[in-house]
Amino acid sequence: MGILTGFLILSFYSVVAGWTLEYAIRGFSGSFKGMDLATSQALFSAFTENPYKQVFYFAIFALITVVIISRGVTRGIEAINKVLLPVLFALVVGLGIYSLKNFDAVSTFRFLFAWDLSKVTPHSALEALGQAFFSLSLGMGAILTYGSYMRKERNIFVGAGQVALADSAIAFLACMVMYPIIFSNVQAAEDFQSLSMLFTTLPVILAELPFGSQVVGLFYTLVALAAITSTISLLEVITAYWVDERGWNRKKTAWVMGGVVFLFGIPSALCQGSVKWLSSIHLITVDGEGKTWMQTFEYLTANWFLPLGGLAIALFTGWYVLESALRDQLIPRGGSAAAVGFYRVWRWLIRYLSPILIFLVMLYILGILSPSE
């Protein structure tokens, strides 16, 4: 199920990721300078309705991903991340400083750091759990695959803690980029839960700043780099399975699986209005609303496959894997009393609390559980 989940997410995620390439080019070229919101919205609609551009940028992003994965873990994933992650971090910090300086920093800090315990509700807690689940790629095999490449002497608890801290740090920095803009603009505040805001409202606002064209270009470059780190993780899950379990050659697997994902994802690229009959097909209906090809697989993966995968992994690890095997992996040789105690807490969490919380997240996402605001 993890392989299937990665396959499906990659097939539509790469389509949206491809949009960032078009907008980075438009940003650097100054296309958004002096543009109003209505024109920006019309531009975005025309772009998503252009079948040639949709498939072209999807293909470019898929090609970049395949090339990186085909080079292997060390020469591909590790080598590119040694470049991408520092650049990504520098761009986030730079744009965050720029955004705080030019937009509503006060409202941003008040929103993020002014604690109001009355707002810590079951609803907000489940929202946070769901976001953490998606942000850390839990339940689809990505962390499982990357974890398998760790050296034996590495401490898994320390590594997991570093991943969680880094993820949270980047999330806060991203808030420093986005929220000052949102709080300083009424239209952005009204639209900020919509994906289209990223490609309609934001470029118009950013383009009016000093060096606006460069800022818009850098912003979409940042989003594109972040997307690449995600697509290579998704394709690695699929590739690793066929290499490790079926004995396929890595380069062959990356190109074959990347090609299959691309073919399967073409309807996602064309169902945003570029092909009318395909855009009108609804594969499933949820709460009376028909879902297009892309929306169907986004709904199934986010609401069913990821939570079910996480629940299965927690139950398998907590109840099926021999404790001796877990202790051998998680407690360093000659481990201290603190390490043993930490392991015992972790094992209780993975056996009891984690499955319960994941199950609650599933009920909430599916609308079965509706905590009061």
Mean pLDDT, the chain, as a whole number? Answer: 86
Please give the DSSP secondary-structure letter assigned to residue 117.
Answer: G
pLDDT tens for residues 110-144? 888 887 777 777 777 777 777 787 788 888 888 88
Structure tokens given for 343: 């392991």
Number of domains in the chain: 1
pLDDT at 196 over 80: no
Among 80-84, 101-105, 211-215, the minimum mean pLDDT is found in 80-84
pLDDT tens for residues 304-326? 888 888 899 999 999 999 998 88
Question: Helices 105-113 and 156-184 sit at what angle, rounded to 10 degrees?
Answer: 140
**CA 344 to chain CA mean position, Å:** 31
Please give the DSSP secondary-structure letter assigned to residue 247.
Answer: -
pLDDT tens for residues 288-299? 889 999 999 988
Burial 110-144 (b: 16+ CB within 10 A, else e): eeeeeeeeeeeeeeeebeebbeebeebbbbbbbbb
Q: Which residues, 6+ apart, have CB-to-CB distance to 233 below 8 Å?
A: 137, 142, 146
pLDDT at 191 over 70: no
Q: What is the pLDDT of residue 373?
A: 47
pLDDT band, very low/low/confident/very high, at 371 (cuts 50, 70, 90) = low
- Domain presence at residue 23: yes
- Domain presence at residue 349: no
- Domain presence at residue 215: yes
- Domain presence at residue 335: no
Question: How much is the pTM?
Answer: 0.86
Stated as kind and residue range, the H or E segment containing 325 is: helix 323-330
Q: Which residues, 6+ apart, have CB-to-CB distance to 80 below 8 Å?
A: 68, 228, 232
Q: List the one residue out of 347, 308, 307 whose CA is nearest residue 327.
A: 347
Stated as kind and residue range, the H or E segment containing 286 is: strand 284-286
CB of 268 within 8 A of CB of 15? Answer: yes
In the block, residue with structure tokens 């499933």? 284
pLDDT tens for residues 159-178? 888 988 988 998 899 889 88
Count of beta carbons in the 10 Å neighbourhood of residue 83: 10
- Domain presence at residue 310: no
Q: For residue 114, which phi and psi values (nearest 5 degrees)?
A: -85, 100
SS3 289: strand
Q: What is the pLDDT of residue 192?
A: 56
Q: What is the pLDDT of residue 59?
A: 96
pLDDT at 76 over 60: yes
The angle formed by the CA atoms of residues 71, 75 and 77, to the nearest 5 degrees, is: 80
pLDDT at 243 over 80: yes
CB of 292 within 8 A of CB of 279? Answer: yes
pLDDT tens for residues 26-67? 999 999 988 888 898 899 999 999 999 999 999 999 999 999
pLDDT at 7 over 50: yes
- Domain presence at residue 316: no
Q: Which structural domain range is residue 71 located in?
A: 2-277
- Domain presence at residue 307: no
